């Protein structure tokens, strides 16, 4: 399967131009009024360029030459010529202002709009789609690819105005003299042809550079995000070399782009100059024949001189088309991606404080393959169980049994391939997004903390959550002690991904975030693995009963490993290879299911060995200054 950059590189010049004009057409349709303002300014500028050529010719032929012949110049005539040139300059300035303001506003507005569209699409697409796409690539899609797609918008109005100007120039040339018009008909098409060749040669180079930008971004993001692994495994040199290698490829690709520009830019500059020289040669001959006047010759020669810069605008648009097409293809791949999970229109009673009932009925689920031709992987098969209102159910099973997948299905991060997941008897696919978020909350294995204050991380700007609610949630999560000890309490900045906190502190902070919304169903996906066992037991004991603010208890589905945690559950669901093998109390399963007993015993032995190896620690101290904190509470 071709990437966006490869598809551009493999296309013909006509393909690239056609697709490039289609992208520009989309931009014009989306911002017609701003484009009209920019083009009006450009046409005004172009018109004044043509007019100024003939005014300069008139000044030279009708004012300067006669004045030189007489040996004197009339003040009134000179003032009139100066006023005409000044007036034209003022109108040109107005045209330049309108063109640049409109083009810039149009370009930046499109970029902002499409960044929002891409980001919104990211949030709509399911996790399975995100699993198949690297984070660095997604960042590049929303940033450099969007910029590249609309980069030609800046010179586009100028190019349109230049085309109008060229038509006017050719018409004026024919009105002046057919021989000089033939010079124009030779130079102007040659300029356009050279620009087309330039675009064709530039297409694969720009496409490759755009693809490498995304790859460099991806490697950088992966290395920085995995800084803990890189440093603890001593892989700094290897990661630096890996990044340097791809950055070097991007450097070479950009140099290739610059080298091609270095070849074609002088040619594009030279052609109008050669046209001016040809006009002077042919014009002198026609002047000797009496076919034209000095005024007309000066006007045409000046016209060719001033056309050199505006004509370049056409080249700028054509040169940026390959990059634009490559960027647009990558952006469109996101916008056209399928698999979003539309929400329904049904609401659960928002005023109902009672715990919710979660039920799985014959649920099957499989992850899509990374590549279309590969088979998918079935994770769950005919899973059926219920979390009764106000009860705690523990999911236990070996690695890969499907526990985290069940947690994701419970809060509808993914949808089942078959079967039903229901809250209070309503299929979660029929619920509105607001109702689902209000009813169920997931605390994931890996806690994510924003680079903000403790308060902001807990409230997430949700309405109706005051400081009293925040402290109540922190108490229930056994986090009020360490938060109160922080320098600024709730106003303490926790750093990117919560780097100023220990692993267990981050977990308790994310648990408090979920509890602050008073969910009727709480799903804990091994959410207290980095917390001291005694603290974990206190948290789960508090969740089983009414919280300390007097609200009703919540239903709990917990992915558990520790024996003490599992023992607190009203029921245990034991999974193997994506299927429910047994269910019952912890005591019953220990006595009747050998696989379960072996697994729990192995977990317990591993916990004992880990505890024996660890040094005594203070539960709430901050991490090491390097940020390489252990992923347990100290």
Residue 190 lies in a domain: yes
Same domain, residue pair 24 and 103:
yes
CB atoms within 10 A of CB 312: 21
Residue 3 lies in a domain: no
Residue 560 lies in a domain: yes
Q: Residue 545: is its pLDDT beyond 80? A: no
Same domain, residue pair 291 and 362:
no
- Residue 262's pLDDT band (cuts 50, 70, 90): confident
- Residue 486's pLDDT band (cuts 50, 70, 90): confident
Residue 453 lies in a domain: no
For residue 132, how far is the Cα from the chain centroid?
Answer: 16
Q: What is the pLDDT of residue 33?
A: 92
**549 lies in which domain range?**
358-448+522-612
| Residue 28 or residue 140, greater confidence | 28
Q: What is the pLDDT of residue 239?
A: 78
Q: What is the pLDDT of residue 613?
A: 55
Distance CA(533)–CA(562), nearest Å, equals: 8
Q: What is the mean pLDDT of the chain?
A: 79
Residue 107 lies in a domain: yes
Q: CA geometry: angle at 122 spanning 356 and 1, to 5°?
A: 125
- Residue 71's pLDDT band (cuts 50, 70, 90): low
Residue 66 lies in a domain: yes
| Residue 594 or residue 445, greater confidence | 594
Q: Are 525 and 446 in contact (CB under 8 A)?
A: no
Considering the entire predicted model, what is its pTM?
0.64
CATH of the domain at 273: 1.20.1560.10
Same domain, residue pair 39 and 84:
yes
- How many domains does the chain fold into? 2
| Bridge partner list, 383 | 363
Residue 61 lies in a domain: yes
Same domain, residue pair 242 and 311:
yes
Check the CA dihedral 577-580-585-591 and report its sign.
negative
Distance CA(227)–CA(216), nearest Å, equals: 16
Same domain, residue pair 177 and 283:
yes
Same domain, residue pair 179 and 54:
yes
CATH of the domain at 402: 3.40.50.300
Same domain, residue pair 263 and 171:
yes
Find the mean pLDDT for residues 519-525: 89
Same domain, residue pair 235 and 271:
yes
Q: What is the pLDDT of residue 606?
A: 64
Q: CA geometry: angle at 21 spanning 19 and 22, to 5°?
A: 60
Residue 515 lies in a domain: no
């Amino acid at each position: 399967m071709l990437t966006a950059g490869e598809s551009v590189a493999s296309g013909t010049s006509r393909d690239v131009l056609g697709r490039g004009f289609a992208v520009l057409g989309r931009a014009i349709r989306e911002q017609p009024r701003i484009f009209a303002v920019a083009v009006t300014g450009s046409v005004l500028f172009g018109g004044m360029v043509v007019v100024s050529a003939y005014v300069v010719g008139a000044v030279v032929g009708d004012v300067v030459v006669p004045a030189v012949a007489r040996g004197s110049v009339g003040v009134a005539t000179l003032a009139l010529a100066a006023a005409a040139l000044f007036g034209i300059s003022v109108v040109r300035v107005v045209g330049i202002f309108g063109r640049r303001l409109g083009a810039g506003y149009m370009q930046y507005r499109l970029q902002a709009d499409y960044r929002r569209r891409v980001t919104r699409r990211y949030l709509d697409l399911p996790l399975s789609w995100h699993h198949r796409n690297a984070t660095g690539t997604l960042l590049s899609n929303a940033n450099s690819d969007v910029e590249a797609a609309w980069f030609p918008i800046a010179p586009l109005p100028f190019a349109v105005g230049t085309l109008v100007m060229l038509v006017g120039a050719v018409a004026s040339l024919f009105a002046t003299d057919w021989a000089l018009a033939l010079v124009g008909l030779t130079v102007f098409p040659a300029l356009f042809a050279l620009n087309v060749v330039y675009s064709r040669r530039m297409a694969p180079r720009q496409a490759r550079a755009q693809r490498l930008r995304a790859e460099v971004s991806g490697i950088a993001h992966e290395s920085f995000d995995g800084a803990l692994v890189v440093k603890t495994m001593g892989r700094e040199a290897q990661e630096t070399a890996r990044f340097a290698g791809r950055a070097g490829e991007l450097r070479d690709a950009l140099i290739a782009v610059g080298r091609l520009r270095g070849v074609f830019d002088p040619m594009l500059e030279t052609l109008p100059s050669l046209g001016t020289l040809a006009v002077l040669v042919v014009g002198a001959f026609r002047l000797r024949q009496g076919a034209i006047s000095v005024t007309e010759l000066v006007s045409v020669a000046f016209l060719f001189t001033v056309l050199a810069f505006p004509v370049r605008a056409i080249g700028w648009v054509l040169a940026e088309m390959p990059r634009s097409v490559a960027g647009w293809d990558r952006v469109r791949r996101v916008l056209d991606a399928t698999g979003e999970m539309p929400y329904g229109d049904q609401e659960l009673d928002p005023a109902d404080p009672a715990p919710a009932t979660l039920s799985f009925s014959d649920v099957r689920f499989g992850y899509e393959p990374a590549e279309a031709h590969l088979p998918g992987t079935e994770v769950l098969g005919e899973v059926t169980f219920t979390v009764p209102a106000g009860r705690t159910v523990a999911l236990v099973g070996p690695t890969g049994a499907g526990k985290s997948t069940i947690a994701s299905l419970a809060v509808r991060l993914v949808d089942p391939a078959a079967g039903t997941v229901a809250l209070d008897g309503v299929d979660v696919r029929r619920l509105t997004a607001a109702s689902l978020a209000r009813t169920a909350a997931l605390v994931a294995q890996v806690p994510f903390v924003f680079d903000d204050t403790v308060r902001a991380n807990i409230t997430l700007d949700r309405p109706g959550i005051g400081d009293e609610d925040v402290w109540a949630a922190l108490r229930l999560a056994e986090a009020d002690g360490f938060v109160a000890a922080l320098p600024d309490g709730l106003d303490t900045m926790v750093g990117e991904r919560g780097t100023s906190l220990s692993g267990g502190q981050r977990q308790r902070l994310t648990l408090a975030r979920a509890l602050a919304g008073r969910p009727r169903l709480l799903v804990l996906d091994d959410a207290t693995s980095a917390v001291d066992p005694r603290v974990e037991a206190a948290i789960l004991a508090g969740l089983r009963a009414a919280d300390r603010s007097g609200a009703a208890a919540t239903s709990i589905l917990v992915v558990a490993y520790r024996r003490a945690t599992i023992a607190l559950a009203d029921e245990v669901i034991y999974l193997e290879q994506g299927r429910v093998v047994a269910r019952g109390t912890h005591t019953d399963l220990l006595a009747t299911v050998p696989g379960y007993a072996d697994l729990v015993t192995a977990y317990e032995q591993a916990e004992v060995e880990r505890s024996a190896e660890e040094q005594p620690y203070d539960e709430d101290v901050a991490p090491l200054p390097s940020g390489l904190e252990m992923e347990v509470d100290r």
